[in-house]
Structure 1
Amino acid sequence: MAPLITPVQTSLDLPEATTVVVIGGGIIGLVAALVLAERGTPVVVLEKGRIAGEQSSRNQGWIRKMSRSAPDVPLAMAADPLWNGLAARVGADVGYRRAGILYLARNESELAVHQDWLDSVQDLALDSRQISALRIGLLAPGGRGHWAGGLYTPSDGRAEPTLAASAIARAAMAKGAVIVEHCAVRTLSLAAGRIAGVVSERGEIRCEQVLLAGGLWSRRFLGNQGIDLPTLPLVASILRTAPVQGPCDITVGAPDFSFRKRLDGGFTISHRGVLNAPLTLDSLLLGRRYLGALRGQWQNLQPSIGRELFDDLLLGRRWRADQVSPFERVRTLDPPADPRVNAEALRNLATAWPMFKDAVVKQAWSGALDVTPDSLPVIGPVAKIPGLTLASGFSGHGFGTAPAAGQLAADLICATRPIVDPRPYRLERF
Structure 2
Amino acid sequence: MQMRHRGSEILNVASSRPDSAGRLPKTADVVVIGGGVAGVATAMFLAQRGVSVVLCEKGRIAGEQSSRNWGWIRKMGRDHRELPLMIESARLWEQLAAEISEDIGYRKCGATYLARSSAELKRHVDWLEQNAHFGLDSTLLTENETDRFLGRNDQRFLGALHTASDAVAEPGLAVPALARHAEAQGVRIVENCAVRTVDVSAGRVSGVVTELGRIDSANVVLAGGVWSRGFLENIGIAFPQLAIKSSVLRTSPATLSSTGAIGSDRVSIRPRRDGGYTVARSGAAEFQLVPAAFRYFSQYLPILRERWQIMKIRAGRQFFGALGSARWDADQISPFERVRVLDPTPDKVLLADVMKCAQDLFPQLSGVAPVESWAGMIDVVPDEIPAIGPVAGHEGLMVVTGLSGHGFGIGPGVGLLAAQMVTGEAPIIDPAVFSPARFNSKAAT
TM-score relative to the length of structure 2: 0.93
Q: How big is the shift at 1:247?
A: 2.4
Verify: 1:106 aligned to 2:116, yes or no: yes
Of residues 20, 23, 48, the one that matches 2:33 is 23
CA deviations over 1:286-344 (Å, ceiling 9, x no partner): 1101122333467631112333323258x542110011111111111111001111110
Verify: 1:290 aligned to 2:300, yes or no: yes
Counterparts in 2 of 1:273 and 1:428: CA distance versus 1, 3 Å: closer
> Gapped runs of 5+ residues in structure 1?
none
**Equivalent residues of 2:11, 2:173 under 8 A apart:** no
Q: How big is the shift at 1:284?
A: 0.7
**Equivalent residues of 1:269, 1:345 under 8 A apart:** yes
**Equivalent residues of 1:67, 1:117 under 8 A apart:** yes
* Alignment of structure 1 residues 353-368 onto 2, 5 Å: 353-368=362-377
Q: How big is the shift at 1:191?
A: 2.7
Question: Does 217-226 or 107-116 show the bigger shift?
Answer: 107-116
Of residues 5, 8, 13, the one that matches 2:12 is 5
Counterparts in 2 of 1:99 and 1:255: CA distance versus 1, 3 Å: same
Which residue pairs with 1:259 in the alignment? 269
* Paired-residue identity, %: 43
| One-letter amino acid of the counterpart of residue 340, structure 1 | V
* Alignment of structure 1 residues 1-400 onto 2, 5 Å: 1-2=6-7, 3-10=10-17, 11-12=19-20, 13=22, 14-142=24-152, 146-272=156-282, 274-296=284-306, 300-312=310-322, 316-400=325-409
CA deviations over 1:47-85 (Å, ceiling 9, x no partner): 000110000000000111111111111011111111111
Q: 1:424, 1:78 → 2: CA distance?
A: 16
Q: 2:173, 2:36 → 1: CA distance?
A: 12
Question: Does 214-223 or 64-73 show the bigger shift?
Answer: 64-73
**RMSD between aligned residues:** 1.6
**Equivalent residues of 2:32, 2:43 under 8 A apart:** yes
Counterparts in 2 of 1:306 and 1:143: CA distance versus 1, 3 Å: farther
Which residue pairs with 2:3 in the alignment? none
Q: Secondary structure at the match of 2:384?
A: coil
Q: 2:234, 2:92 → 1: CA distance?
A: 35
Which residue pairs with 1:406 in the alignment? 415
Q: How big is the shift at 1:115?
A: 1.9
Verify: 1:416 aligned to 2:425, yes or no: yes
Q: 1:222, 1:64 → 2: CA distance?
A: 30
| One-letter amino acid of the counterpart of residue 211, structure 1 | V
Question: Does 214-223 or 128-137 show the bigger shift?
Answer: 128-137
CA deviations over 1:119-151 (Å, ceiling 9, x no partner): 322322122222112112222325767111111
Q: Secondary structure at the match of 1:307?
A: coil
| One-letter amino acid of the counterpart of residue 367, structure 2 | D
| One-letter amino acid of the counterpart of residue 243, structure 1 | P
| One-letter amino acid of the counterpart of residue 11, structure 2 | L
Q: Secondary structure at the match of 1:135?
A: helix
> Gapped runs of 5+ residues in structure 2?
1-5, 440-445
Q: 1:219, 1:247 → 2: CA distance?
A: 43
Q: Secondary structure at the match of 2:356?
A: helix
CA deviations over 1:91-122 (Å, ceiling 9, x no partner): 22221111111111111111112222223223
Q: Secondary structure at the match of 1:252?
A: strand
Q: 1:173, 1:145 → 2: CA distance?
A: 51
